Amino acid sequence: MRKTNSLMGRLLRGAAVAFVALFGTASHAAAPGITGSTGTGTATFNLSAAPGYISQPDGTSVYSWGYGCASTFAPGFLPGTITGASCPTMQLPGPTLIVNQGDAVTVTLTNNLPAAAGNTSILFPGFAVTASGGTPGVLTQEAPTGGSVAVTYTFVADKAGTHSYYSGTQGDLQVEMGLYGALIVLPTTIPTNCQNTPNDTARGTDRGGGAQSDFRLAKAAFNHSSACYDREYLFQFSEMDIEVHRQAEAQKDVSCAQATGCMIVSTEPYVPTYFMINGRSMPDLMEPNYALHFPNQPYNANPHMHPGELTLLRIIGTGRWQHPFHEHGNHVRILARDGNLITTATNKLAGPLLFTTTTTPGMTMDGIYQWTGKGLNWDAYGHANGITTETCVPDANGYYTSAPTANNYYEWCADHLKPLEDKPFGQVGKGGPVTLPDPNIFAFGPWYSGSPYLGPDATARAVGATPVPPSGTVGNAGDEAGFFFMWHSHNEREITTNNAFPGGMLMMMGVDPWVYVIDETK
Ligand SMILES: [Cu+2]
């Protein structure tokens, strides 16, 4: 938070850590999507545009339009370890299309929108698209309603990275209604310095007895030594003005034979009240991918990571507003914009380090985020409170990376043994940078474990302290505690749902101790 007088600022002021949490039934995320029916070097997708209803956390059911899989099309799903994957005929956002760089991509679209909606289409910005079939529109070939005439878009996916796709027909209405999605192009060449699995010995061996699976779509976002990653998440930001959707719903059954449709829908003034990431608002976005109670909103937004892991963020701005999304805990090193890797003349990464990854409509970004605890100015593992058997030997960069099985693997050694608290409640100050609140205002449970520390047995570490535990710690023996950071739009209007806080474009990023297995299968 930058504005300390804001509501969020009052909640979070003075603490680098938003929440310390126990682990329970949390679901996780990854970057799920579909693969085409492929031969070697080709990827074919048969999509439909169709109407449907999506749900918002205030109970509202919103009439929307979305791309989905044609009923005759059986795609493949990635990552293959995610259970219950499906591709309905309408979803919001549309299916994430995953292809390999160099693939000849063919996307066939049929239009199952109501006749009153008129023609529709798909644009793939950044690619040289050949469109055939259907009827000519302003920007591309369009598919008429009725579902029987298909339009086909072909292009070579020559550019790696994260790309958007969206309707090229009546964009102010059709994109607002939900006709947009993501295209991920995986590089054909992987740099030799990338990790084979997220748990290579160089980056920490498997602390979960073989359970720490690889959920990446690839080992690198681009063919560049700075583009390796260990985990990845896709975030599509959009907003929604329900009045537009109500007008469209009221006119959906009007009989119509015009290519331009027969709806008279005012898209101005534009007053959105729903702000979504991957088609869901907080807290719905924390539910599992493909959750049955969100039949047309299959993708969640629930990032987790271990300290030190390189996490690839695939970011797309959709809709009409700018979305200044802030990833708390560190800045994001940008690799590429709109799939264009940002490098110097000598091929060194030149992408900026961003405080907020602000997207304008249609813009995409690929960036690397890493959380290590560097800069906290206190020992996040509670070593200052009696756990002195664990050491911290700095590597050339200052991190403890020489002992992959250590609980405090990747600790920032300059803060090793630094106390947490300045003036513990009811006690004398110990010199740390943080003053904890009165323990009586905390509720212990899923969002606060009773310990401010990261790692296995974090609460036991806290209460077993010498000479005194931090105030407000309660022993919950055996618990593993992680840190949760609020990732949210810095346009604070956007962290509401229908004007109620919290909601909208807000998620919780979890830093889990290495001993905790991050299971992205749900
Ligand atoms: Cu913030």
- Ligand 1 center from residue 64 Cα (angstroms): 30
Give residue 375 CA to ligand 1 midpoint distance, Å.
17
Binned at pLDDT 50, 70 and 90, residue 467 comes out as very low
Spatial separation of the C-alpha atoms in residues 477 and 226, rounded to whole Å: 41
Over residues 281-301, the mean pLDDT reads 95
135 C-alpha to center of ligand 1: Å?
Answer: 46
DSSP string of 92-151, one letter each residue:
SSPPPEEEETT-EEEEEEEE-S-GGG--B--B-TTS--EEEESEE-SSSEEBPBTS-S-E
The model's confidence at residue 404, banded by pLDDT at 50, 70 and 90, is confident
Nearest one of 318, 273, 238 to 60, comparing CA atoms: 273
Is the pLDDT at 270 greater than 50? The verdict is: yes
Structure token digits, residue 113: 């929108």
CA of 193 to the centre of ligand 1 (A): 33
> Residue 458 above 80 pLDDT?
no
Average pLDDT, rounded, for the chain: 87
Give strand pairing partners of 353. 333
- For residue 86, the CA-to-ligand 1 centroid distance in Å is 34
- What is the rounded average pLDDT of the residues 460-476? 55
> How far apart are the CA of 508 and the centre of ligand 1, in A?
11
pLDDT top residue among 377 and 312: 312
Residues 93-134 pLDDT 10s? 999 999 999 999 999 999 999 999 999 999 999 999 999 999
Distance 445 CA to ligand 1 centre (A): 24
pLDDT, tens only, 421-457: 776 555 555 677 777 776 677 776 666 767 788 877 7
Q: Which tens digits make up the pLDDT trace of 184-213?
A: 999 999 999 888 776 666 665 666 666 677
For residue 356, the CA-to-ligand 1 centroid distance in Å is: 9
Give per-residue pLDDT as tens, 337-388. 999 999 999 999 999 999 999 999 999 999 999 999 998 988 888 887 666 6
pLDDT value for 16: 37
- pLDDT reading at 150 higher than 60: yes
Please report the pLDDT score of residue 471 as a whole number: 57
pLDDT score, position 241 = 97
Give the distance (Å) from ligand 1 centre to CA of residue 490: 6
Centroid of ligand 1 to alpha carbon of 357 (angstroms): 12
H-helix or E-strand containing 180? strand 180-186
- Separation of 52 CA from ligand 1 center, angstroms? 34
Report which secondary-structure segment, H or E, holds 365.
Answer: strand 364-369
Cis ω before 502 (30° cut-off from 0): yes
Cα separation, 144 vs 331, whole angstroms: 45
In the prediction, which pLDDT does 204 show?
A: 59
Statement: residue 4 has pLDDT above 90:
no
Which pLDDT score, from 0 to 100, does residue 227 have?
Answer: 97
How far, in Å, CA of 154 to CA of 159, rounded? Answer: 14
CA of 13 to the centre of ligand 1 (A): 11
Measured in angstroms, how far is the CA atom of residue 324 from the centroid of ligand 1? 10
Alpha carbon of 293 to ligand 1 centroid (Å): 30
Cα atoms found within 13 Å of the Cα of residue 195, Cβ hemisphere only? 18
Q: Percent of the chain scored above 70 by pLDDT?
A: 83
| CA of residue 21 to ligand 1 center, whole Å | 19
The lowest-confidence range among 2-6, 102-106, 299-303, 426-430 is 2-6
Judged by DSSP in three states, 459 sits in helix
Report pLDDT digits (tens) over 475-513. 554 556 788 899 999 999 999 999 999 999 999 999 988
Listed residue (47, 69, 64) closest to 121, CA to CA: 47
**Once rounded to an integer, what is the mean pLDDT over residues 168-182?**
97
- Rounded distance from Cα 502 to ligand 1 centre (Å): 13
Which pLDDT score is estimated for 428?
58
Cα(484) to ligand 1 centroid in Å equals 13
Question: Reduced to 3 states, what is the DSSP secondary structure of residue 494?
Answer: helix
CA 506 to centroid of ligand 1, rounded, Å: 10
Query: How far, in Å, is the centroid of ligand 1 from the Cα of 328?
Result: 6
pLDDT band at 284 (very low <50, low <70, confident <90, very high): very high
Calculate mean pLDDT across residues 167-184: 98
Ligand 1 centroid – CA 9 distance (Å): 8
Written in H, E and C, the secondary structure of 324-377 is EEEECCCCEEEEEECCEECECCCCCECCCEECEEEECCCCEEEEEECCCCCCCC
Task: Measure 505 CA to ligand 1 centroid, in angstroms.
Answer: 11
pLDDT tens figures, 48-99:
999 999 999 999 999 999 999 999 999 999 998 788 899 999 999 999 999 9
Ligand 1: centre distance to CA 485 (Å): 9
Q: What is the pLDDT of residue 474?
A: 58
Burial zone of 360 (CB within 10 Å; 0-12 exposed, 13-18 middle, 19+ buried): exposed
Q: Tell me how far the alpha carbon of residue 36 lies from the centroid of ligand 1, in angstroms.
A: 38
pLDDT at residue 253 in the model = 97
pLDDT at 19 over 80: no
